[in-house]
Structure 1
């Protein structure tokens, strides 16, 4: 157990920079008004991956073995190999900014850069050099700190529910075969993906954020109260 916790800690530490890194990366390609929905398309891959993860896990569990691995070990082995393969492809094909995009013409590269510069008054060039003082001011900005805390608390509940979804399903359908239990984790992810896309698209089109956040919170808070306050498996 201690080894598993250690590996999970290292995985979390290495993953920590992915979301802010993706947000910065996309800011090199899209204007602020366009960024919300584009980031949504990235974030929705989480529940979308849960959809295919449950289906893939059920398919893997139908195998007798994968090499020397059996049962749940096969899921980690096969999904890990797929992830490593995709990361290697991305390392060699993913460009870091419009100026280095091999699939864009010179005119398209200039247009992409000019669109971003048009929102940044006084900026004549987008640089990749790290500015220490600005970085620290950004980290300790009260809005950044408050938003980071909100995101941390959201992730505790969201990731906790995602990790324990198979266990929750098992408590509701204890007599169902393991493969069926894995398949039953799929519908919540499908519903979640659709809702996330719909809310982010509406937020982008109406250019409003707070109202959609408040509506989502009003639904989630009582739902978690029910989840924590009762042991009735159907209600949960």
Structure 2
């Protein structure tokens, strides 16, 4: 955002600072100075250890509790509850998204009002308990009820965590952290397959079928972890006790220099929400994510069924679901590292999108070669789950201040998850085992995401050039610039 800081960083190196320390931003020189007892790199590592691991575990468990119904279905959920016909299983999946979409923005407002540690831990305990109850349902209506409340409890997890990460890191540091966090979904997919293959062997124990044990044990694990996380999850930089006063001041200053002031102290009002949506880039950001949610949820919910259609047994199906998720994690981390290294987002979103497109193209055209079809699933998982964190990081780190980031993050995730509804009804029982309509729908939405990324890139580039051409000192006070966030004439978007 501020060229003086970038010049200093390039000449001196990230850990080189003037010897004096005033604990704040030197406005005249454009330099921030680290506390004398540490270096910036050590401080960022300290933040990493207190923020990222806990959020990753939290979201791993959230995603696991969300999609383990696919593993449970392989072990006979639909048959026992008599929901094989008329796409009842698809309806049970889609009802999750109704509260999940509607309450994204209110949840992020509550996250800011309460401490993130309290809000996220309570939500975590709630969806763990509901997952346990899902393993005890005796009817289709009971399954629908638990899926609805599961969506309500999970609504704050993903946007809340992304919002929180964005308030801790500078923009060129964020992609690896965002991707590592987002890759909790791929780890959950791999872990879920392994865990389900083991839990499935408990079929009949204490009178419960194997699919019930998947919900009961995984939900119980979430509840137990949430109790510890009530004390371990991070808050905003201004509120944590594990940083010294000097460190908090420095962290706040380095973030202000990169992103502008956060306006943490002012509550979000209805007017703030309305002002955010006056920016067309916000709308486009929602479509960037929306296009990839369709293939992502299509894969997460239906890959076990697709694999089973290749002739694998239930246990083999669960085990064969693990390698594509593992490959997606590795590819996502490589893309994230390169994106941060070159401080660029657009191309590193488009490249994995092209990988995803090639995977669906193979699945649409190849139907009688199991190895090739299995390899195409790798491409789909690697492409979709590597592009999504880049898109979310790119969009969120281009939002300045608490207000625009809280609302914008929730909007992108909430609107994007409408794609989950489309994904659920794209893969119908009557289309098995080839699922040509489902693959075609996913391919179309991936192309929509690519187009939206291009439009967003051009809009940000035009804004930057427009601000460079105009006089920067337009007489705005610091308060007015803070209220504007990334709409301030001093702000420059990352491309």
Structure 1: runs of 5 or more not aligned: none
1:1-236 alignment, distance < 5 Å? 1=88, 3=141, 4-65=143-204, 67-121=206-260, 123=261, 126-127=264-265, 129-174=267-312, 176=313, 178-232=314-368, 234=370, 235-236=372-373
Which range moved further: 93-102 or 7-16?
7-16
Distance 1:88 1:124, change over 3 A: closer
**Structure 1 residue 233, shift from structure 2 partner:** 5.9
Superposed CA deviations along residues 99-124 of structure 1, whole A, max 9, x for unmatched, are 32222222222222222122244x38
RMSD: 2.3
Shift of 1:60: 0.8
> Larger C-alpha radius of gyration, 1 or 2?
2
**Structure 1 CA distance, aligned partners of 2:203 and 2:209?**
7
How far is 1:56 from its partner?
0.9
Aligned partners of 1:213, 1:180: CA distance in 2, in Å? Answer: 33
With the length of structure 1 as denominator, give the TM-score of the two structures: 0.87
If asked which structure has higher relative contact order (CA below 8 Å, sep 6+), I would say 1
Secondary structure at the counterpart of residue 103 of structure 1: coil
Q: Could you tell which deviates more after superposition, 94-103 or 31-40?
A: 94-103
Q: Secondary structure at the match of 1:208?
A: coil
Distance 1:74 1:59 in 2: 10
CA–CA distance in 2 between the matches of 1:23 and 1:116?
A: 16
Maintained 8 Å contact 1:172/1:233: no
Tell me if structure 1 keeps the 8 A contact 2:186–2:326.
yes
CA distance in 2, matches of 1:151, 1:120: 22
Structure 2 counterpart SS, 1:172: coil
Contact 2:193/2:321 (8 A) holds in 1: yes
Q: Distance in 2 between matches of 1:140 and 1:17?
A: 24
Deviates more, 1:126-135 or 1:42-51: 126-135
1:17/1:145 Cα in 2 relative to 1: closer, same or farther (>3 Å)? farther
Conservation of the 8 A alpha-carbon contact between 2:200 and 2:214:
yes
Q: 1:147 to 1:124 in 2, by over 3 A?
A: closer
Q: In 2, distance between residues paired with 1:66 and 1:150? A: 46
How many residues of Structure 1 are paired with residues of Structure 2 in the alignment? 233
34 and 65 in structure 1: CA distance in 2 versus 1, 3 angstrom threshold:
farther
8 A Cα contact 1:61 1:71, kept in partner: yes
TM-score, with structure 2 as normaliser: 0.44
Secondary structure of the corresponding residue to residue 238 of structure 2: helix
Contact kept in structure 2, 1:171 and 1:233, CA below 8 Å: no
Q: CA deviation at 1:197?
A: 0.8
Q: 1:5: Cα distance to partner?
A: 4.1
CA 128–229 in structure 1, closer or farther in 2 if over 3 Å, else same? farther
Deviation at 1:13, TM superposition (A): 4.4
